[in-house]
Amino acid sequence: METGKLGTHPLTEERGLLFGGDYNPEQWPEEVWRQDAELMRAAGVNLVTVGVFSWARLEPEPGRHDFGWLDRVLDLMGEHGIAVDLAIPTASPPPWLGHRWPETLPVDEDGHRLWYGSRNQFCPSSARYRERSQLITTALAERYAAHPALAIWHVGNEYGEVCHCDESAAAFRAWLRERYGDLATLNESWGTTFWSQGYGDWAEVVPPRRAPYLINPTQRLDWRRFCSGELLGHFREQRDVLRAHTPDVPVTTNFMGFFNRVDYWSFAGEQDVVSNDCYPEPGNPRTPALTALTHDLMRGLGGGRPWVLMEQATSAVNWRPHNLPKPPGQFRLESLQAVARGADGLCYFQWRASRFGSERFHAAMVPHAGPDTRLHAAVREHGRELRRLASVAGTPVPARVAMVFDWESWWALEERGRPSDRLNATEQMLAYYVPFFERGVSVDVVPPSADLSAYALVVAPNLFLVGDRDAAALTAYAHGGGVLVVGPFSGVVDPNGHVRTGRFPVPLREVLGASGEEWLPVAAEQPVRCRWDDGAGFAASTWTELLRAEGAETVAEFAEGDLEGRPAVVRHRAGNGVAWYVGTMPEPAALGTLIGRALDDAGVTGPLPELPPDVEAVRRGEVLFLLNHGADTVRVPVPEPATDLLTGSPARGHVTLTPRAVAALRPEVSGG
């Protein structure tokens, strides 16, 4: 598959946007399948994910395959013009694997083995599990390589397993030997002179299993790197088999947004299409922004290319303690939000609601009550309207702002034994993202190693761990004319998790024109008053720092307490650019003011001069999407004459959006 060209995707070139869901026909008698296929066709479904949890059905005992049923499913889909995202079912091995080879079952940090009877019960480092994974992958690849319905391979499901067994320990040691070469280097990197942790023999080195008190943070950081790498290794082995059989069929595995256990930057380049599962929490006012940020992360993971929303829910899920349904119009709004932010595939978990099993009470595209329901009617309507957006498929979402996010820094920050666990990497991302979201300013989420040269503004809400090269790149970016905003507690540790000594943030001190000497968390119930340089006040919370300007101007200072009169926010003319440092957690409105000023520095504006609250605006290709997440009907002024692709109606001067309504405005060429 040609992945280098932005926006091309053989699937969508043929089909416009992809629409469908997980299809689990093994849960139903065959007479239901034909009905399903007819219903899918009527709903405009053009892609189904099949076989994610079918290993036991496909290989009822080691080496004996039963492919007949899957042949019939793929044939049926093919006859109905529905492409298949065929899964490699390694996320849920059959009971025979754990029964015959208990070493394939994962062990938790307490040394307890986790059993089958659920899913995900595998040790990523188990040689036996890996061997059986290869065998089933090869069998599926051989059998279906030439099937006309096969459109994409879906490896595993939501990678994230961790195992602390002895086989994993041996693999961890091998990984550490590769990384450090010898024990002396490991001891130094882990700082094992602390608490008498020095290792004298490789055999003594183990995963961070349950221990009496805090575990060495570098050991844990390396363990996280290792665990993520083991999963990637497993993915790669399967992908390579698939590529060998079907070099032109794209391979994906479904992500889970800001998921902590896997470094998605390392995975992303290894697959042909990025796909994600997204289950926005109903009723949470922060949901629209968090979902948008997650979608932007997916676009970033794909290097700007379109991605696939592999799973979402038409209504309530079953795994929250109290599962709120989605009001009519909500799943459509969420689906179109993903389209606006670069998704070319809009798929659901799942097609038909299960009668049995742990997910009996999870919403689906066809509910238990059947197709004669308002929910299924809405699904069908949504499938129809997606065809009207076919021209959007493959188009990019241009952004002049980047936000830096790094898994390793996230892992390092979350170690226990830090100044405050209230400073949280993903919360900081969201806090800094909201002001852009509210203005309709598009943001790319990028890794610290990204080429930043195309961006007018780069924000690093928290880069607790930063390597020298990445810090130098951020510095060079600002010196070269960019606008850089750095959030609190950044640049604190090196890639070993060792604190960089000196006035902080050591590797960014010069570019920021300021430095600090103490981190000073504050009581949750005691916000700190601060003052902008124009005298206006605001509140900050949770976190403060004792800072000194060293060439930077103080744009906000603390207005009370121990830090009264000391800088809270500084701005520095660094070379040809500008660098901001924020040594606290300003309340949302104040962060909005700050980002507004940084946007002015960068000369970046949103797509519309006026955007009512709760209305999301994002441009994809030439189409401006407007999405009303609020409870009120709003009028959005639109300066250019346009046509709403969803309704075909002209938009002149303004559009009116009822709650949960969406407009997809294509500008009209003058005179056209």
Residue closer to ligand GAL, measured from CB, 154 or 220: 154
Closest CA to 2 of 12, 446, 179: 12
The one catalytic residue among 59, 311, 408, 616? 311
Provide, rounded to whole angstroms, the least separation between the CB of residue 158 and ligand GAL: 5
Closest CA to 584 of 630, 662, 532, 659: 532
DSSP string, 250-287: -EE-EE-SS-TTS-HHHHHTTSSS-EEE--PPTT-TTH
DSSP string, 515-581: EEEEEEE--TT--EEEEETTS-EEEEESEEEEEEESSSEEEEEE-SGGGTTSEEEEEEEETTEEEEE
Instruction: Check residue 438 for interaction with ligand GAL (CB under 6 A).
Output: no
SS3 644: strand
Pairing type for strands 83-88 and 443-446 reads unpaired
Q: Which of 36, 277, 470, 545 binds ligand GAL (CB under 6 A)?
A: 277
Alpha helices in 424-492 (DSSP H): 425-439, 468-479
Considering only residues 403-432, where is the footprint of ligand GAL by CB under 6 A?
none
Give yes or no: 30 in active site. no
Residue closer to ligand GAL, measured from CB, 311 or 616: 311
Give yes or no: 14 in active site. no
Count Cβ atoms below 10 Å from residue 546 Cβ, excluding itself: 16
Size of the site for ligand GAL (CB under 6 A): 9
Instruction: Check residue 616 for interaction with ligand GAL (CB under 6 A).
Output: no
Residue closer to ligand GAL, measured from CB, 23 or 433: 23
SS3 236: helix
Provide, rounded to whole angstroms, the least separation between the CB of residue 60 and ligand GAL: 21
Please give the Cα distance from 646 to 665 (Å, whole number): 8
Provide, rounded to whole angstroms, the least separation between the CB of residue 92 and ligand GAL: 9
Look up residue 37 and give its two tokens: 């296929």
Burial class (CB in 10 A: 0-12, 13-18, 19+), 509: buried
Look up residue 12 and give its two tokens: 């969508």
Q: Which helix (H) or strand (E) holds 458?
A: strand 457-460
Please give the Cα distance from 45 to 80 (Å, whole number): 10
Residue closer to ligand GAL, measured from CB, 364 or 595: 364
Instruction: Check residue 601 for interaction with ligand GAL (CB under 6 A).
Output: no
Provide, rounded to whole angstroms, the least separation between the CB of residue 157 and ligand GAL: 5
Look up residue 669 and give its two tokens: 């060429």
DSSP string, 533-551: TTS-EEEEESEEEEEEESS
Residue closer to ligand GAL, measured from CB, 314 or 428: 314
- Secondary structure of 408-440 in the HEC alphabet? HHHHHHCCCCCCCCCCCHHHHHHHHHHHHHHHC
Look up residue 348 and give its two tokens: 């659901």
Residue closer to ligand GAL, measured from CB, 311 or 414: 311
Residue reference for tokens 């959030």: 487
Q: Which of 96, 180, 202, 279 binds ligand GAL (CB under 6 A)?
A: 279
Residue closer to ligand GAL, measured from CB, 349 or 581: 349
| Radius of gyration of the chain measured on its C-alpha atoms | 26
Q: Which of 59, 85, 103, 158 binds ligand GAL (CB under 6 A)?
A: 158
Provide, rounded to whole angstroms, the least separation between the CB of residue 275 and ligand GAL: 11
Instruction: Check residue 311 for interaction with ligand GAL (CB under 6 A).
Output: yes
Residue closer to ligand GAL, measured from CB, 20 or 583: 20
Instruction: Check residue 85 for interaction with ligand GAL (CB under 6 A).
Output: no
Q: Which of 349, 433, 455, 581 binds ligand GAL (CB under 6 A)?
A: 349
Q: Which of 11, 58, 317, 450 binds ligand GAL (CB under 6 A)?
A: 317
Q: Which helix (H) or strand (E) holds 294?
A: helix 287-301
Instruction: Check residue 157 for interaction with ligand GAL (CB under 6 A).
Output: yes
Residue closer to ligand GAL, measured from CB, 357 or 596: 357
SS3 291: helix
Asked whether 455 and 552 are in contact (CB, 8 A), the reply is no
Q: Which residue's beta carbon is nearest to the bound ligand GAL?
A: 349
Q: Please name the residues in contact with 411: beta carbons below 8 A apart, sequence gap of 6 or more.
A: 220, 221, 224, 225, 260
Instruction: Check residue 362 for interaction with ligand GAL (CB under 6 A).
Output: yes
Count Cβ atoms below 10 Å from residue 649 Cβ, excluding itself: 12
Residue closer to ligand GAL, measured from CB, 153 or 477: 153
Please give the Cα distance from 79 to 41 (Å, whole number): 10
The one catalytic residue among 103, 158, 230, 408? 158
Residue closer to ligand GAL, measured from CB, 251 or 595: 251
Provide, rounded to whole angstroms, the least separation between the CB of residue 162 and ligand GAL: 17
Q: Which residues are catalytic?
A: 158, 311
Rule CB under 6 A: which residues touch ligand GAL? 157-158, 277, 279, 311, 317, 349, 359, 362
